[in-house]
Amino acid sequence: MPLHSIRPLPGGAHLGLWHLTETPAALWPQLADSDAYRPLLPARADGPRQAQWLAGRVLVQRMLAAVAPATVPLLLQNDATGRPFLGEPDLGPAVSLSHSGEWAAALLAPAGAAVGVDVEVVRDKALRIARKFLTTDELAKVKLITSVQPDLTTELHSLLWSAKETLYKLAGRRGIIFRQNLLLDLPAAPTPPAAWPRAGELPARLELADRSSRHRICYFQPAVGYVLTYCYSFSSFT
């Protein structure tokens, strides 16, 4: 079943997962008010990307129907920075979306919350660009971990990339520099927690020009070969 799960989280937030098996032709009829969405479809959304885009929106509609059935259907749009919003910016439920490969994920939280979710296929891309998004300290700690557990190398880098993507969405600002503003407090010991990178929490910090804040990024594997991270805060960063 494509709707994999809707998971309640503390504070009234919900995490939804969609296992994508359908074509765009099969997804369009599942999207309520599809005519309103057709002009919003990205111009370069080919077959697979269009299916991912549609699955994310169908997922959000299913989640709203499940957790707030009395809510008037809300159109999911994107603001000038690309951040999704429901209804009117900052008035409807907070929402974050992500998709990769066969999975789409959505995080919903009460209005005014800052939210971020990211799902990634585990691959060596994050390893290749590690120096572009990890700090010197983070790189050193990753080197310690992978020196004793080399089999974690690709998964670990994919997890850390996903964590920073989630933190970036949580910040909701332009001009973010991953190596400067998005920081991960990795363990100093060479051996990570036993569950890493299967499931757990990763301490993180947002270091912005006007404020500094601490967060805990939750992560798990929705399926073999994937990693998912999410975080939400009831303080806005905009």
Lowest-confidence region among 89-93, 117-121, 142-146, 183-187:
89-93
Is 23 a member of any domain?
Answer: yes
Select from 77, 112, 147 the last residue of a domain: 112
* Dihedral-angle region of residue 7 (phi above 0 means left; psi in -120 to 50 means alpha; beta otherwise): beta
pLDDT digits (tens, 9 = 90+) for 177-218: 999 999 999 988 777 777 777 899 999 999 998 889 999 999
Q: How many helices (H) and strands (E) does the chain have?
A: 8, 11
pLDDT bucket at 70, cuts 50 / 70 / 90: low
Range of the domain at 76: 3-112
Residues 169 and 101 in one domain: no
**CATH number of the domain within which 140 lies:** 3.90.470
Whether residues 64 and 127 share a domain: the answer is no
pTM for the full predicted model: 0.94
Mean pLDDT of the chain: 92
User: Can you name the residues that pair with 98 across neighbouring β-strands?
Assistant: 105
Same domain, 100 and 133: no
100 pLDDT more than 60: yes
At residue 88, does pLDDT exceed 90? no
Q: Do 125 and 182 belong to one domain? A: yes
pLDDT exceeding 90 applies to what percent of the chain? 74
Which stretches of the chain are DSSP H helices?
24-27, 34-37, 47-67, 125-128, 130-133, 136-148, 153-171, 178-181
User: Any idea what the CATH number is for the domain that residue 8 is in?
Assistant: 3.90.470.20
Instruction: Tell me, yes or no, whether 147 and 211 share the same domain.
Output: yes
pLDDT of residue 47: 86
Pairing outcome for strands 114-121 and 226-233: antiparallel
- 105 and 125 belong to one structural domain: no
Band of the pLDDT at 237, cuts 50, 70, 90? low
Our count of domains for the chain comes to 2
Q: Band of the pLDDT at 229, cuts 50, 70, 90? A: very high
Residue 104 lies in a domain: yes
Neighbours of 123 (CB within 10 A): 16
Report the amino acid identity of residue 71: T
